[in-house]
Amino acid sequence: MSVQAGPKLAELEAIKANYSLTGEQRQIVDHVDRVSRELLHPLQERMDAEEWWPEDLFKQMGELGLLGVTAPEELGGSGQDEFTQALVSQVISKWNPAVGLSHGAHDNLCLNNILRNGSEEQVKKYVPGLCSGELVGALGLTEPGAGSDALGSMATTARKDGDDYVINGSKIY
């Protein structure tokens, strides 16, 4: 499999031109573009060819400020809005689509879900590690024989048991 040499500078300029970005957002886009080009793009060919994932990648991304975009600064995040998070994911995906997809699951489906719906205890327990890359977030949705049809075919159940819930089911991927 052949990997393209990488997106052209014109594509980055198109991203910035298509939106009314603040100065801070432009700086973020430029930073993410440089880091993604230098760190993530060189990994793409091996990741695709060997179905390989660098174990410390999320820790590196956390150190470089690519994780926890919407999380409050006091929890290790950047304190940005969802639009800025989407810009970060878009630029990462431009240089390495596999990492972009994983970034979206980590920051949006997991971290943002905990920020919105988690208890104060859960937020304090998990969000700092998700921002630093010590923890890698995911969302368990797809089931054997059901795909990702959360409303129609999902068989996993959650049953209240006193102060706890008992979850019964299986997920794949």
Tell me the pLDDT tens digit for each residue of 10-48: 666 666 666 789 999 999 999 999 999 999 999 999 999
Structural domain boundaries in the chain: 9-139, 143-173
The alpha-helical segments, DSSP class H, found in the chain are 9-17, 23-35, 41-50, 57-63, 82-95, 97-103, 113-117, 120-132
pLDDT (tens digit per residue) in 71-85:
999 999 999 999 999
Residue (of 94, 130, 136) closest to 9 by Cα position: 94
Taking residue 104's Cβ as centre, other Cβ atoms within 10 Å add up to 18
The structural architecture, per CATH, of the domain 9-139 is: Orthogonal Bundle (1.10)
pLDDT tens, residue by residue, 5-14: 556 666 666 6
pTM flag (> 0.85): no
